[in-house]
């Protein structure tokens, strides 16, 4: 099959490798061309524009930062791509409202649209073990489920377009909440003089434990947030999207606004492109006397 991938960033690059490994013909486009070039040696063709990339394939995978990037690529650029008879598969994390809007616009242009956001990060993208959540009609789910198995073994139909986007935001809210909560407890026991090993031993044996605690422990202890799998700026983007969608369905916003505030401060400290465990620098700053 002829597949186009737009967005060859942290996630897009390993996902491109998976598409090629599954035997498809792949054309890629990335705003910063040098990142697209990294897939050439694996067999991808590099397109000169997003429109040229889209026009060359029956299936267009979008792995872009946010809704603004998707809008630019699909609708704002000159020349405009021809979306007729093509299927757009949106795999980044955007809000259900944005996704439903893109669905309508793509259909008005004569194309098909489905959302397939993923849980998991670069290692899972490389291994093809992402959790793929599909928001689509039954027809499009059946048509594209097998193809999407190159990213994860069991793509799941969550519901119509918007439902998978909503589920993805719910999961990322949990990531933000667990990470901020763990950072606070870790900072607290450190400053109270409790042994970290004792703290972790008890947490690991308890019902409070989440695997993400151990994944982030070393980074927080070493205050080393370089080479991120998932940068702080994208987690803040998701927290903001979650906040607005939660407000629309009348949920209490104080917790999510607090976490959003912590992440915004972390960006202000210069950690936008670092791993989101850098929230520890805000919760427990290294330069504070105690
Ligand atoms: N990293 C993860 O663990 C992870 C896991 C699940 C889901 N996600 C989600 O997947 C999406 C991609 O994540 P990522 O980690 O791969 O991010 P990333 O490395 O920052 O890549 C973002 C991509 O979007 C492009 N882009 C940004 N603004 C653009 C614009 N205005 N016009 C055209 N292209 C634009 C970037 O192009 P340039 O290279 O030119 O900047 C890049 O290709 C995000 O929605 C993220 O929340 C990430």
Whether 201 and 232 map to the same domain: the answer is yes
Q: What is the C-alpha separation between 283 and 92, in angstroms, rounded? A: 28
Give residue 247's domain range. Answer: 165-283
In a domain, 288, yes or no: no
| Residue linked to tokens 């504070």 | 288
Whole-number Å distance between alpha carbons of 259 and 264: 9
Whether residues 101 and 175 share a domain: the answer is no
Cα 60 to Cα 276: distance, rounded to the nearest angstrom: 29
**pLDDT for 287:** 76
Q: Please, which residues have CB within 8 angstroms of residue 215's CB and are 6 or more apart in sequence?
A: none
Q: 65 in helix, strand or coil? A: coil
| Closest approach atom of ligand 1 to CA 13 | 16
CA of 115 to the centre of ligand 1 (A): 16
**Domain-embedded: residue 123:** yes
**Does this model's pTM top 0.85?**
yes
Does residue 141 share a domain with residue 272? no
Query: Which ligand 1 atom is the nearest neighbour of the CA of 121?
Result: 3
Same domain, 27 and 80: yes
Instruction: Tell whether 18 and 137 lie within a shared domain.
Output: yes
Residue by residue, pLDDT tens for the chain (290 residues) are: 999 999 999 999 999 999 999 999 999 999 999 999 999 999 999 999 999 999 999 999 999 999 999 999 999 878 899 999 999 999 999 999 999 999 999 999 999 999 999 999 999 999 999 999 999 999 999 999 999 999 999 999 999 999 999 999 999 999 999 999 999 999 999 999 999 999 999 999 999 999 999 999 999 999 999 999 999 999 999 999 999 999 999 999 999 999 999 999 999 999 999 999 999 999 999 976 55
Residue 289 within any structural domain of the chain: no
Claim to verify: residue 7 and residue 151 sit in the same structural domain: yes
**290 located within any domain:** no
Q: How many domains does the chain have?
A: 2
* Alpha carbon of 66 to ligand 1 centroid (Å): 7
Residues 6+ apart with CB under 8 A from 157: 134, 136, 138, 141, 145
**Residue 170 sits in a domain of what CATH number?**
1.10.1040.10
**Is 101 in the same domain as 208?**
no
């Amino acid at each position: 099959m002829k597949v186009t991938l737009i967005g060859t960033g942290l996630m897009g690059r390993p996902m491109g490798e998976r598409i090629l490994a599954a035997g498809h013909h792949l054309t890629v486009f990335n705003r910063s061309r040098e990142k697209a070039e990294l897939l050439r040696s694996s067999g991808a063709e590099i397109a000169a524009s997003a429109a040229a990339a889209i026009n060359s394939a029956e299936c267009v995978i979008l792995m872009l930062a946010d809704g603004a990037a998707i809008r630019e690529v699909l609708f704002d650029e000159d020349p405009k791509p021809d979306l007729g008879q093509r299927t757009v598969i949106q795999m980044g994390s955007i809000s259900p409202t944005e996704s439903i809007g893109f669905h309508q616009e793509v259909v008005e242009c004569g194309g098909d649209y489905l959302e397939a956001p993923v849980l998991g990060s670069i290692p899972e993208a490389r291994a093809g073990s992402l959790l793929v959540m599909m928001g689509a009609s039954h027809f499009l789910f059946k048509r594209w489920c097998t193809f999407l198995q190159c990213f994860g073994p069991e793509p799941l139909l969550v519901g119509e377009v918007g439902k998978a986007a909503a589920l993805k935001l719910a999961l990322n809210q949990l990531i933000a909440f667990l990470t901020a909560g763990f950072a606070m407890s870790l900072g607290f026991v450190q400053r109270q003089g409790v042994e970290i090993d004792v703290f972790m031993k008890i947490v690991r044996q308890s019902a409070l434990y989440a695997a993400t605690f151990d994944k982030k422990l070393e980074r927080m202890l070493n205050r080393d947030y370089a080479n991120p799998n998932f940068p702080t700026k994208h987690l803040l983007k998701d927290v903001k999207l979650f906040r607005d969608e939660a407000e629309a369905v009348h949920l209490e916003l104080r917790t999510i606004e607090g976490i959003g505030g912590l992440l915004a401060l972390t960006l202000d400290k210069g950690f936008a492109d670092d791993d989101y465990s850098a929230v520890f620098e805000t919760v427990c700053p290294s330069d504070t006397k105690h």
